[in-house]
Amino acid sequence: MSRIAVFLAPGFEEIEALTSVDYLRRAGQDVVTVSVPADGSDEITSVVDGAHGISVITDQVLKDFAGESEGTLPDAVFFPGGMPGAANLAACDYLLDLVDLMAGEGKIVAAMCASPAVFLSKTGILSGKKWTCYPGMDEGIGEGTHVPDVPFVFDGNLLTGRGPGTAEQFAMKFVEILAGVETAKKIHDGSCQR
């Protein structure tokens, strides 16, 4: 069983976040949702408002996650997109450092929609990798190779996704990476996916 941390900042894309959390938990993975404060806010709360007005209660707040995780890294991290969610993630120095640590250890870093362009581009993880993001947000990012018009790209330890409409395909690839093809197939068939 893998441990996955999913970081939710105010303005996160609900479909992207919750689809991945749901399918990863169906796959028996240890998923913890972590609230990240808005840029410039000192507010510590486990309730995070998504980009479309859906409030989610997270398992932990960032301060507690950072304290408990000191010296140990999860097996994977996931940063859903949405705006200003991705910008709020990008304003968090702890998360930028965490991505660099995860990349250095070859652990899975996953992001979709706005987050690859707005957040991951502030780290070194895109360098030398293929990646995708929400259409048009790749402009001006000179690292790695942007791949347009695909639901997701998996390159080495980096999984990136295009946007909300690709959340199911992205989440199922995430499951396959962490839990294997057989588990992904069982979830696919059991949830009546197309």
Catalytic status, residue 113: yes
Closest CA to 73 of 32, 112, 117: 32
Q: Over the range 90-99, which residues count as b (16 or more CB within 10 Å of their CB) and which as e?
A: bbbeebbebb
Q: What is the DSSP string of 127-151?
A: TT-EE--STTTTTT--SSEE--S-S
Q: Which of 92, 113, 133, 192 is catalytic?
A: 113
CB 6 within 8 A of CB 78: yes
CB 89 within 8 A of CB 95: yes
Sign of the C-alpha dihedral, residues 2, 19, 10, 113?
Answer: positive
Residues serving a catalytic function are 113
